[in-house]
Amino acid sequence: MISEDKREMMRGYLEEAILQDVGDHQLLSTLHFSGKYECEPKWAIGPFQKEKSLTFKLKGQWSDPLNIGWKSGFLFNASLIEHDGKLFLFYRAAPKKETLCSRIGVAMYVEESGWSDYGQNPLIYPTADNEIMGCEDPKIYRAEGQYFMFYNGVWPVNKEQAEKVRQSMGYDLSVGCDIKMAVSDDLLNWRKGKLSFLTKCRNIGPKVRSYPVIQKAML
């Protein structure tokens, strides 16, 4: 669980995220990348067009289980899966596009009534030290009768870790990013596991890029 002193740190990260200048990222939408272009390679799938009835927009705000004043400003980097005739859209919600302090939520779609956001969002939010700066970018898979979510847990590195990476890889490091996993039987109730891969990361502008170390950990 997150201690009160860690919550205070998270409030600081949230304030930084809200004030961060993300440049042109805040103007971009998936629609900018899914249209038809004059020259398309033969292997390209598409063109894609916006389907209004399948477009999900968050209406209102979630409750904040950590009570640090978190609010959603942008939804992006979604993952979609079908279950029992419903579409489940898992998405990253952040106070600002391409900033830290993200949470993961889900919305469900049925043809008769359209989209509905899950009333107990966020599904995945920081509960461990190695995700104290956010839980990002869900990817959902089904295997052996269960559902597996891989997501990024983001955390601040200390001076020793930053110096070690600087000497070995030549990068200036400010945050770390672990690829984590959660398991569910019904896509709504999730059990967090251990690391999927141990990673070393560097902060490049607003983006966090990860470099896997080949050391897989099991649940």
- CA dist., res. 216 & res. 219, Å (int): 10
CA angle, 179 as apex, 127 and 162 as ends, to 5°?
85
The CATH number of residue 81's host domain is 2.115.10.20
Predicted confidence band of residue 136 (pLDDT cuts 50, 70, 90):
very high
Predicted confidence band of residue 217 (pLDDT cuts 50, 70, 90):
very low
Q: What is the per-residue pLDDT across 150-187, written as a single tens digit (0 to 9) for each? A: 999 999 988 888 888 788 888 787 888 889 999 999 99
Q: How many CA atoms lie within 13 A of 181 on its CB side?
A: 16
Predicted confidence band of residue 207 (pLDDT cuts 50, 70, 90):
very low
Please indicate, yes or no, if residue 93 is contained in any of the structural domains. Answer: yes
The structure's pTM equals 0.82
Please indicate, yes or no, if residue 110 is contained in any of the structural domains. Answer: yes
**pLDDT of residue 192 exceeding 80:** yes
Please indicate, yes or no, if residue 174 is contained in any of the structural domains. Answer: yes
Number of domains into which the chain is organized: 1
- Range of the structural domain that residue 128 is part of: 4-19+69-216
Please indicate, yes or no, if residue 34 is contained in any of the structural domains. Answer: no
- CA dist., res. 52 & res. 106, Å (int): 19
**pLDDT of residue 200 exceeding 50:** no
Nearest CA-CA partner of 97 in 151, 23, 182? 23
Please indicate, yes or no, if residue 58 is contained in any of the structural domains. Answer: no
Q: How large a percentage of the chain has pLDDT more than 90?
A: 51
